[in-house]
Each structure stands twice: as C-alpha cells, then as structure tokens.
Amino acid sequence: MNVYRSPENPIIEPKDVKPSRPDFEVVCAFNAGVTRFNGEVLLLLRVAEVAKSDDPKIARVPIYDHERKEIIIKDFSKDDKNLDFSDSRVIRTPNEKYLTSISHLRIARSKDGIHFTVDEAPTMTSANEYEMFGIEDPRITLIDGTYYINFSCIANLGVTTCLASTKDFTTFERHGVIFLPDNKDVEIFPEKIGGKYYALTRPDSRSYKRREVWIADSPDLLRWGSHRHLFGTRHDKWDSGKVGGSAVPFLTDEGWLEIYHGSDKVHDRYCLGAVLLDKNEPWKMLGRSDNPILEPETDYEIHGFYGNVVFNCGVLNEDGKVKIYYGAADTCMAYAEISLKDILDIVR
C-alpha cells in the first residue's frame, strides 16, 4: 500500500496543548474527530492530562466528582503492595480500577490541514457520573447542517457512548447515553439509509472475550436497536485480537467505505484496515482488506505512552485521497494520505 506520511509529523504533540489547570500536565493529544468547518480543517482532540506529583512515591489520579461538579485528586502510595501499577494507564486496587489520566475534548484548527492552532481552553469536559474518568475518542458526523459528536465516557459504571450536537462548535447540546456499557468505537453514518440512521458499534463481550464490530439503526439518533454482528477478528491476520470502527463511514460509487482498527492477539499492535459495505444495506459487507492500509512503522508510531499504535477517529475523503488524521502511540496526532482507488482495489 502506497502511504504518504506528512514530513511535519507529528502534527500535534502534547507540548502544543496548554494544560487545563496549573497542577496538570498534558501527556497525550491524540485520537481526534475531524471535519471541515468555516473553511478550515477542525480536529476535536482527545487531550489526556495527569495530576502533577512532587513526591515520586505518590501517584495522583484526577477524578470527576459529579456531586461536587469538579475534578478532585486521589492519591495512591506506590509502596502499597495491594496496588497494581504495572500498566501505565491504570491503577488497580483490590476492588477498583482507576485511570492515571483524565481526558477532555479540545478543538484544533488549520487552514492547510497540517499546521494547527490548538484552543487554549477545553471544548468539552466531564459533566456527569458517566464521565468520572473523562471523555475520549470523539467522532464527528455532519447531518443536515448539524454536527453530531459521539464519544466514549469512562467511569466505574463502565464505558458508555454519549452523544452531543452543535452547529457552531461554540455551544453544544448533550443528548446523554446512547449505547450501554461496555460499548465504544461508535461511528454514525452521515445520512439516512432507507429512512433510518445507522451506526457501527463495538460491544465488549466479557464472557467470550470478543471485541468486534456490530451495526444498529435508529429513527432519531437516540434510540438504537436492530443490532447485528457485522464483522469480527481473523485468527491468522493482523486483526486477530480485536477490531473496532474508526472513521465515520463515507459513501463511494461502490458502497460505504469504513476505515477500521484492529490489533493482533500476541503483540496488541494496532493497525488500520478497510471494509466496504453495501450502499443500501450497510449490514452487508462487500469486501475487506487482507493487510493493513496503515501500520506502525515510524518512531512516533512505535514509541510513546502506549507504543505500536495507529488509531483513527476521522478522515476526509477529498480529491481522490483518503486523508487520515490518526493518533500515534497513544501520544500525538499524525497525518497520512492514501489513494481512494488503492483502498477500493484491495477491498473489492
């Protein structure tokens, strides 16, 4: 696969983002939803922050307290033998699991799609009990002049998917939980099909350890049903561990093209692939890439907060190119282009 990576990569790094408060440090700026708005490319970044600690033996965890309506800090002793610090992303206690960071969403804007200015203040932050550990990985779908933003909400209640909408990226209306835990990696199609809205989902089956792509429909974007399994992992390929939708699907002459992510069972290495869905019956898969269309190869994709990861929440389909804005190593944002024809050739 012929992939063009921007020589400016990474195009956004944690150092480019101002912390939301003085005692916080931005550690990741990644997994952004993407759209065009007012003549600019707009990224809605996931910004992950940690609470600074002056004591190397103390881990500080930021948590949104929905009763106090503010972020509080909980301290953990690294000398406590009952605590598990083996994964940099979480702290496990005998009864609970805490994220070491808290994420919010923030806008970045660009005239040329490569050089971005990041807003100084968060755009959307935790606001309720479902968002205790932050909000993550937004997808942006434009439908009839309204931008619908779905995002993952993390809490000790589980991982839910919530929906918000805006017309101007200044004021936002929140519509609440649209998919129960544990469900994430949701992509809403940008138009009705046969009078219904459709969305790709990724429920997590704990009993059978399956994380695969399903599809659901809705009359109003809020009530979802008719859930069907769409496609799963492949034991002998790069996506043998888990799969999930990534970018909002876009329509081509041959059907709906979906850029999805997958990881392998052995190394948990995240790559991007593509599937082609029927134009009128999107629950029917017409083709799928045997090999990744984008995989971790560069230093900024291999090394980071969680290495060997390329993860995408949005693309622009323009001028015969699929313009991919992706999170690299769970740390920064990068940009790549692939010919639409090249992708269609391998999913037919």
Q: How many domains does the chain have?
A: 1
Report angle CA 38, 29, 202 to the nearest 5 degrees.
90
pLDDT at position 56: 93
In the chain, % of residues over pLDDT 70: 100
Q: What is the mean pLDDT of the chain?
A: 97
Query: pLDDT tens digits, residue range 5-44?
Result: 999 999 999 999 999 999 999 999 999 999 999 999 999 9
- Compute the CA torsion angle 197, 327, 261, 151 (nearest 10 deg): -30
Query: pLDDT tens digits, residue range 121-165?
Result: 999 999 999 999 999 999 999 999 999 999 999 999 999 999 999
pLDDT band at 215 (very low <50, low <70, confident <90, very high): very high
Query: pLDDT tens digits, residue range 254-306?
Result: 999 999 999 999 999 999 999 999 999 999 999 999 999 999 999 999 999 99
Mean pLDDT over residues 309-337, rounded? 98
Mean pLDDT over residues 91-120, rounded? 97
E strands, 100-247, are 102-110, 117-118, 135-143, 146-155, 158-166, 173-179, 183-188, 197-205, 210-211, 213-218, 225-231, 242-245
Mean pLDDT over residues 334-340, rounded? 98
pLDDT at position 348: 85
Residue 79 has pLDDT above 90, yes or no: yes
CATH code (residue 117): 2.115.10.20
Residue 176 has pLDDT above 90, yes or no: yes
Q: What is the CA radius of gyration of the chain?
A: 19
End-to-end CA, the chain: 15
Which residue segment(s) compose the domain that 8 sits in?
A: 3-347
Q: Where are the alpha helices (DSSP H) in the chain?
A: 299-302, 340-347
Report angle CA 330, 42, 112 to the nearest 5 degrees.
100
